Amino acid sequence: MTLQSIHHSSRDQSNWILNYIKRVNGAAAEERQIVTRSSQSNICVVCKGSRFLCGKPRCPLLVKVNYYIKSIPLIASEDIAGLSPPSVFIGRIGYPHVYVGPLVPPVHEDTSLYDLPEQWFGRSIDEIVGFRSLLIRGKHRVHVQKFTKAGKIMEQTQELALAESCVNTELQLTKKPLGSIFMDDAIQPFGPSAPIRDMHVSNARFECRIEKAYYDTDLRATQAVLDLYHQGVLVTKIQKAFSVGAFGIEKKRRLVPTRWSITTVDDIISKNLAEKVKAFPQINEYRVYESAYLDNVFEILMIPAAWSYESMEAWYPGTVWNLQGKSIAIYSDYEGNNGRTTYAQIGGCYYSARLAVCEQLIKERHQATVIVLREARPGYIMPVGVWQVRENVRNAMRQKPRLFSNLDESLKFIRSRFEIPLRRWIMQSELLKNALFQKKITDFFSNSS
């Protein structure tokens, strides 16, 4: 594709989106206040949200645009004031020089739900997009290792991350917030953004347990995360504090991009729980737990065996990680009893699901081989974050499991719940193939007797 065709494609995108906004909302945004970018521009420009050429039952772009329209009256000025949930965002583009800043909805009522995924399960995708779209992001460039000398804006951003509840926050931006509408399902919905000229945060009351870890400059970051989790602090709140360099040996503290901090905290906690699980007796039956949300269907199989873990995801054509595919794509990662030392290829979902299943095994003081199977169906029109996997699996763990006396019966049940043939799952799975085809030493003893 030539530079000229890219330019025209981008212009075509902007034109039809702006025309749509003007048609729906007379007080449309200024053209310079909206940016559109695309990884599949030809499809979107031809479709214009009406022909469903991507194969989805709803246009994810128009869902984002409709919530952007609702935010237009709220971003007409460079001055933004509201109650931050509290929430902050640490970017990763340009690392180690990254954009840091608060997330502030121009709303003067309780906004705690806007950034509290532990309470989002069961809410519609429209509600979640609505929460995210109203969070206006202030941006301030900071070096991740020099953040303690970055001045007032960084200091107040850190205060927000440590706060216990909503905080009155005022932003003076260098220009009106810019709304970016990405024609790409791999991009989570988020609100408009602009560089910060100045900001003011009302006195924030710190979460006392996080505050204690923050002031303990001899406490390692990993131990701080574990201590807070075992004290009952929500994972989301730990992740926010971790991202702004609130934990660890004083000289080693640094900012961690939000995306990385989420996975790191899930990994630290679930790895610690898995080590504890290994000391418990094995379950004595085959179990299948279930949950379905946002057209993600989860079947979690527990096998009476020593701890090992596998996470598998099947993506239908046109869904987030299989946009151009003609057939269903299945991805997986696993670990044996000794754990793993490399990053899981399927990403943060691996660790968030591991956290949820380990919580259940710790609760009942048992161990098992656990296989998490997920069908991401076409109704999952856009990514909303790995929290969805953690809370979906947590929901499954809260339900009464189906019990079976052998593996064949449990797999037969799973086959009845999924649309994808069971053989596809078995071909992809290391742990299922091992359970079905690997002979154990006890098998030889039983045959000789």
Contact 122, 293 (CB under 8 A): yes
The verdict on residue 98 lying in a domain is yes
pLDDT (tens digit per residue) in 390-415: 999 999 999 999 999 999 999 999 99
* 246/224 Cα distance (integer angstroms): 10
Confidence label for 318 from pLDDT (cuts 50, 70 and 90):
low
Contact 170, 77 (CB under 8 A): no
Average pLDDT value over all residues in the chain? 87
- For residue 437, give both structure tokens: 């085809």
Token pair 């098992």 in the structure block, residue: 368
Contact 28, 20 (CB under 8 A): no
Same domain, yes or no: 83 and 109 = yes
Query: Is the pLDDT at 3 greater than 50, yes or no?
Result: no
The verdict on residue 209 lying in a domain is no
The verdict on residue 126 lying in a domain is yes
Same domain, yes or no: 229 and 175 = no
Residue of higher predicted confidence among 299 and 32: 299
> How many domains does the chain contain in total?
3
Q: Tell me the residue type at 127.
A: E
Same domain, yes or no: 332 and 248 = no
**Which of 155, 174, 201 is the last residue in one of the domains?**
201
The verdict on residue 143 lying in a domain is yes
Confidence label for 44 from pLDDT (cuts 50, 70 and 90):
low
The verdict on residue 208 lying in a domain is no
Same domain, yes or no: 253 and 116 = no
Query: Is the pLDDT at 32 greater than 60, yes or no?
Result: no
**Which of 276, 296, 323 is the last residue in one of the domains?**
276
pLDDT value of position 360? 98
Contact 168, 202 (CB under 8 A): yes
Tell me the three-class secondary structure of the chain, residue by residue: CCHHHHHHHHHHHHHHHHHHHHHHCCCCCCHHHEEEEECCHHHHHHHCCCCCCCCCCCCHHHHHHHHHHHHHHHHCCCEEEEEECCCEEECCCCCCEEEEEEEECCCCCCCHHHHCHHHCCCCCHHHHHHHHHCCEEEEEEEECCCHHHCCHHHHHHHHHHHECCCEEEEEEECCCCEEEEEECCCCCCCCCEEEEEEEEECCCCECHHHHHHHHCCCCCHHHHHHHHHHCCCCHHHHHHHHHCCCCCCHHHCCCCCHHHHHHHHHHHHHHHHHHHHCCCCECCCEEEEEEEECCEEEEEEEECCCCEEEEEEEECCCCCCCCCCCCCEEEEEEEECCECCCCCCCCHHHHHHHHHHHHHHHHHCCECEEEEEEEECCCCCCCCCCHHHHHHHHHHHHCCCEEECCHHHHHHHHHHHCCCCHHHHHHHCHHHHHHHHCCCHHHHHHHHC
Query: Is the pLDDT at 77 greater than 60, yes or no?
Result: yes
pLDDT (tens digit per residue) in 82-110: 999 999 999 999 999 999 999 999 999 99
Confidence label for 10 from pLDDT (cuts 50, 70 and 90):
very low
pLDDT value of position 101? 96
- For residue 86, give both structure tokens: 């509290």
pLDDT (tens digit per residue) in 120-141: 999 999 999 899 888 999 999 9
pLDDT (tens digit per residue) in 411-447: 999 999 999 999 999 999 999 999 998 756 555 454 4
Same domain, yes or no: 134 and 166 = yes
- CB within 8 A of 268, min separation 6: which ones? 222, 225, 226
The verdict on residue 207 lying in a domain is no
Same domain, yes or no: 155 and 11 = yes
Domain that holds residue 222: 214-276
pLDDT (tens digit per residue) in 216-252: 999 999 999 999 999 999 999 999 999 999 999 999 9
**Which of 147, 176, 201 is the last residue in one of the domains?**
201
Same domain, yes or no: 189 and 295 = no
Same domain, yes or no: 86 and 222 = no
Same domain, yes or no: 171 and 28 = yes
pLDDT (tens digit per residue) in 263-299: 999 999 999 999 999 999 999 999 999 999 999 999 9
Same domain, yes or no: 192 and 100 = yes
Region 308-317: mean pLDDT is: 92
- CB within 8 A of 354, min separation 6: which ones? 266, 270, 274, 309, 311
* Helix axes 208-215 and 235-243, enclosed angle (nearest 10): 30
pLDDT (tens digit per residue) in 47-68: 766 666 666 778 777 787 777 7
Region 302-309: mean pLDDT is: 98
Same domain, yes or no: 270 and 292 = no
Same domain, yes or no: 272 and 283 = no
**Residue 16 exposed, middle or buried by CB count within 10 Å (0-12, 13-18, 19+):** middle
pLDDT value of position 449? 43
- For residue 273, give both structure tokens: 């729980």
